[in-house]
């Protein structure tokens, strides 16, 4: 399948006249329900900024391995920093990607026994001393895409017949801002092609910037895979499980994966995941009757149960994905996660 298999939405239409905005909201609702993925153009970020964050990511990955290991995620109880290829786990198998994770710069919360375990997630990022531009560039990018994400959340709310600020009570003040810069090294045909295993995203939505190397695939209704080929200047946006829960399954968090590139090539992407506050509980929206009748209920996976408690759900995913961090900083929780 080709890039045309995914819808293309222009965010400028959201700021158009009444008729244009209404048509955009209809298209957004259909894309989010039927596919769960779409290309976003007209987002307002110039090509120079898109190129700059990709160039900065390349500079980080070009650092000597000891300098990257100095900010390895295993040093952070907040799941920030560098992960080598093969060290993150999806569906029980290692992903073939190296990456750097960052979030909002927030102070560590005071913790004592009896507080929810997710309170240990908040804290500072790790930054390499040899590349000070990384901090400035990543945090600026994070704020820019957060603004786009919040505009989309307002559009999603309106498309579901809700007030524009329907989701604001569960993200205002401290949204979960999670950014990954990711490099997928090439692999021989005889090796495992899992760049990232098949999964859903846990937040509100994801905005992904790709380079020119393909590999992202979206699961179709028939169980086949749709190639989300790179489109210059566009984000790939997908619905996360928070929106699926809030809409009782009307909106669709779609399974997707990344296939590793061929040997001698690599793939670069910058992924931003916008989520709710860790202390929030996902509400169940009261949809208009015609939309409620189409809601399928959130998908249920006995191997990966969903919780409406945002912090609990997010921590579960982090512990499963990064067993080395879990063993060092959350040894008291590891058995509970295995049993969840």
Q: 176, 276 in Cβ contact below 8 A?
A: yes
> pTM of whole model > 0.85?
yes
How far is Cα 143 from Cα 120, in angstroms, rounded to an integer? 23
Residue 21, pLDDT above cutoff 80: yes
pLDDT mean over 94-111: 94
Enumerate domains of the chain plus CATH numbers: 3-339 (2.60.120.330)
Residue 190, pLDDT above cutoff 80: no
Band of residue 336 on the pLDDT scale cut at 50, 70, 90: low
**Least confident window among 7-16, 184-193, 330-339:** 330-339
207 is written with which tokens?
């905005």
Residue 71, pLDDT above cutoff 60: yes
Q: Spell 128-166 as b/e; 16+ CB within 10 A means b.
A: beebeebeebbbebbebbbebbbbbbbbbbbbbbbeeeb
Angle formed by the axes of helices 133-159 and 18-34, to 10°? 100
Q: What is the pLDDT of residues 38-58, one digit of tens each?
A: 999 999 999 999 999 999 999
Q: 208, 240 in Cβ contact below 8 A?
A: no
Ramachandran assignment for 233, one of left (phi > 0), alpha (psi -120 to 50 degrees), beta (any other): left
Q: What is the pLDDT of residues 111-148, one digit of tens each?
A: 888 889 999 999 999 999 999 999 999 999 999 999 99
221 vs 97, higher pLDDT: 97
* Beta strands 8-10; 37-41: pairing state: parallel
DSSP 67-103: HHHTTBGGG-TT--EEE-TT-SEETTEE---EEEEEE
pLDDT at 335: 64
Please give the distance of CA 211 from its chain centroid, rounded to a whole number: 17
Show the beta-strand stretches assigned E in 192-303.
Answer: 194-199, 205-210, 216-219, 225-227, 235-239, 256-259, 266-275
Short-list 134, 128, 41, 96, CA closest to 267:
96
DSSP bridge partners of 199: 256
How far is Cα 280 from Cα 309, in angstroms, rounded to an integer? 6
Residue 268, pLDDT above cutoff 70: yes
How far is Cα 322 from Cα 71, in angstroms, rounded to an integer? 15
Sheet strands side by side (includes 205-210)? 8-10, 37-41, 235-239, 205-210, 266-275, 176-185, 98-103, 81-83
1 vs 100, higher pLDDT: 100
């Amino acid at each position: 399948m080709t890039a045309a298999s995914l819808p293309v939405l222009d965010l400028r239409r959201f700021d158009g006249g009444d008729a244009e905005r209404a048509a955009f909201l209809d298209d957004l609702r259909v894309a989010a329900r039927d596919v769960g993925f779409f290309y976003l153009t007209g987002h307002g970020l110039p090509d120079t900024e898109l190129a700059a964050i990709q160039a900065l990511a390349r500079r980080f990955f070009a650092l000597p391995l000891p300098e990257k290991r100095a900010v390895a995620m295993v040093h952070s109880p907040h799941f920030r920093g560098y992960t080598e290829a093969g060290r993150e786990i999806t569906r029980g198998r290692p992903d073939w990607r190296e990456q750097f994770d960052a979030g909002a710069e927030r102070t560590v919360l005071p913790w004592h026994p009896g507080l929810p375990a997710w309170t240990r997630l908040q804290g500072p990022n790790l930054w390499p001393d040899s590349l000070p531009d990384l901090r400035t560039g990543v945090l600026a990018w994070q704020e820019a895409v957060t603004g786009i994400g919040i505009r989309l959340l307002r559009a999603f709310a309106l498309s579901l017949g809700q007030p524009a600020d329907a989701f604001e009570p569960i993200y205002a003040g401290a949204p979960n801002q999670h950014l990954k810069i990711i490099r997928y090294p090439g692999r021989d045909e005889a090796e495992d092609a899992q760049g990232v295993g098949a999964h859903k995203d846990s937040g509100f939505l994801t905005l992904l910037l790709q380079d020119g190397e393909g590999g992202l695939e979206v699961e179709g209704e028939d169980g086949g895979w749709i190639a989300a080929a790179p489109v210059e200047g566009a984000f790939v946006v997908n619905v996360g499980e928070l929106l699926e829960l809030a809409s009782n399954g009307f909106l669709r968090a779609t399974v997707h994966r990344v296939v590793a590139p061929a040997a001698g090539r690599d793939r670069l992407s910058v992924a931003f995941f916008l989520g709710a506050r860790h202390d929030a509980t996902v509400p169940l929206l009261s949809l208009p009757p015609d939309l409620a009748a189409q809601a399928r209920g959130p998908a249920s996976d006995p191997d990966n149960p969903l919780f409406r408690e945002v912090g609990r759900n997010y921590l579960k995913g982090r512990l499963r994905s990064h067993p080395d961090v879990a063993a060092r900083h959350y040894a008291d929780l590891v058995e509970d996660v295995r049993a969840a």
